[in-house]
């Protein structure tokens, strides 16, 4: 296990270097001139030159690349060009709000879709199965923006069950007051594709010989489903959860904008609108690192779920 872990971590290095270089090249040679953006429409050439010198953009490309690599290694991305706030402080103060929304979505999405998918797989071909497949298909056909607009109008303005905007310094207040509505809408959107996908995993396992053998031996159906079918289907389920984590993180950006949640996602979208390169670069690199670490953790969980898995 230790050798496998060290080898995987070592293999991440060239991948991360490739991502870092790609991000730097895109912002260096394909993005707009940051000095012109910061200077504004009325800036003179002397002011733009002064801004370029202040940002270090007048130096040779290899010097700029060295500064960029140093920022990554030291986790010091400087300050936001738009707000002059330290990027490290921006992450520290905005990330908790994003996690407050993202973690409940991930937990509820997984815990609800697995038993529902297992249940409809067990009654495959029945009216319940067909009805649920129709409902999930319709749900997949509707944009998330529609869910947000209808959910805010119905649950917020008409019924008054939840506030449609707001945030506080108390985590408990956020979880009980401001988070339920966006989490509810996100779970309604996410549970449909997950249910259909997990149903296919369970149907594949139910068709194997070991299931027929277990039933022939007189095992209870609950034992067959939860001890054998569910356990053997956990590897593709873990794979899907691992791949969906970055997507949930990015998807929370849209939620934060429409519900005025002061999270990292809203700051990223504001940074894109302002061409705030330090913030965008930091988020891009960290998201790539997060994705690689999630993939590694998923591979390690394979061994926990199924001891027959050999990590090579």
142-168 pLDDT tens trace: 888 888 888 888 888 888 888 888 788
Q: Is 287 exposed, middle or buried (0-12, 13-18, 19+ CB in 10 A)?
A: middle
Residue 75: closest CA among 286, 284, 269: 286
For residue 16, what pLDDT band results from cuts at 50, 70 and 90? Answer: confident
Give the residue, 36 or 262, on which the prediction is more confident. Answer: 262
For residue 212, what pLDDT band results from cuts at 50, 70 and 90? Answer: confident
Residue-wise pLDDT tens digits, 168-211: 888 888 888 888 888 888 888 888 888 888 888 888 887 777 77
For residue 183, the model assigns a pLDDT of 87
Q: How far apart are CA 59 and CA 47, in angstroms?
A: 17
Question: What is the topology classification, in CATH, of domain 88-261?
Answer: MetI-like fold (1.10.3720)
Helix 180-206 and helix 230-258, axial crossing angle in degrees, nearest 10 = 160
Q: Are 177 and 163 in contact (CB under 8 A)?
A: yes
pLDDT averaged over the chain? 80
For residue 47, what pLDDT band results from cuts at 50, 70 and 90? Answer: confident
Q: Using a pLDDT cut of 70, give the percent of the chain over it.
A: 94
Give the residue, 247 or 168, on which the prediction is more confident. Answer: 168
Domain residue ranges in the chain? 88-261
Q: Using a pLDDT cut of 90, give the percent of the chain over it.
A: 0
Highest mean pLDDT among 8-17, 103-112, 277-286: 103-112
Residue-wise pLDDT tens digits, 123-135: 887 888 888 888 8
For residue 36, the model assigns a pLDDT of 72
DSSP state of 40: -
Cα angle vertex 283, ends 282, 287, to 5°?
120
Q: How far apart are CA 15 and CA 241, in angstroms?
A: 22
Q: Are 239 and 298 in contact (CB under 8 A)?
A: yes
For residue 1, the model assigns a pLDDT of 65
For residue 133, the model assigns a pLDDT of 84
Q: Is 147 exposed, middle or buried (0-12, 13-18, 19+ CB in 10 A)?
A: middle
Residue-wise pLDDT tens digits, 250-290: 777 778 888 888 888 788 877 777 777 788 888 888 888 88
For residue 284, the model assigns a pLDDT of 82
86: helix, strand or coil: strand
Q: Are 105 and 187 in contact (CB under 8 A)?
A: yes
Which tokens in the block code for residue 146? 């529609």
Residue 306, pLDDT above cutoff 80: no
Residue 307, pLDDT above cutoff 70: no
What residues does 79 pair with on adjacent strands?
A: 86
Residue 309, pLDDT above cutoff 70: no
DSSP state of 249: H
* Token pair 């904008």: residue: 257
For residue 32, what pLDDT band results from cuts at 50, 70 and 90? Answer: low
Residue range 65-77: mean pLDDT, rounded = 78
| Global pTM value | 0.75
Q: Are 58 and 52 in contact (CB under 8 A)?
A: yes
Which tokens in the block code for residue 239? 């794979």
Q: How far apart are CA 264 and CA 94, in angstroms?
A: 5
For residue 68, the model assigns a pLDDT of 79
Give the residue, 198 or 214, on which the prediction is more confident. Answer: 198
């Amino acid at each position: 296990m230790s050798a496998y872990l060290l080898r995987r971590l070592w293999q991440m290095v060239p991948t991360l270097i490739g991502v870092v270089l790609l991000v730097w090249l895109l912002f260096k040679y394909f993005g707009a001139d940051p000095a012109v953006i910061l200077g504004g429409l009325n800036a003179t050439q002397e002011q733009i030159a002064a801004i370029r010198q202040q940002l270090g953009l007048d130096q040779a490309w290899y010097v700029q690349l060295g500064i960029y690599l140093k920022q990554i290694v030291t986790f010091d991305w400087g300050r936001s060009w738009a707000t002059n706030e330290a990027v490290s402080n921006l992450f520290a103060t905005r990330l908790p709000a994003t996690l407050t929304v993202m973690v409940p979505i991930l937990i509820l999405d997984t815990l609800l879709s697995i038993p529902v998918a297992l249940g409809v797989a067990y009654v495959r071909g029945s009216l319940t199965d067909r009805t649920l497949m129709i409902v999930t298909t319709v749900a997949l056909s509707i944009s998330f923006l529609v869910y947000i607009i209808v959910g805010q109008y119905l649950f917020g303005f008409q019924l008054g069950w939840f506030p449609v905007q707001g945030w506080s310094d108390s985590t408990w207040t956020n979880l009980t007051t401001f988070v339920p509505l966006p989490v509810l809408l996100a779970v309604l959107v996410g549970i449909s594709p997950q249910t259909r996908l997990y149903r296919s995993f369970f149907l594949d396992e139910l068709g194997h010989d070991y299931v027929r053998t277990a039933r022939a031996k007189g095992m209870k159906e609950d034992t067959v489903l939860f001890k054998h079918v569910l356990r053997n289907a956990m590897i593709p389920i873990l794979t899907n959860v691992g791949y969906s984590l970055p997507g949930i993180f990015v998807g929370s950006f849209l939620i934060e904008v429409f519900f005025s949640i002061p999270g990292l996602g809203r700051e990223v979208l504001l940074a894109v609108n302002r061409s705030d390169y330090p913030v965008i670069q930091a988020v891009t690199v960290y998201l790539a690192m997060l994705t690689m670490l999630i993939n590694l953790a998923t591979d390690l969980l394979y061994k926990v779920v199924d001891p027959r898995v050999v990590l090579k």
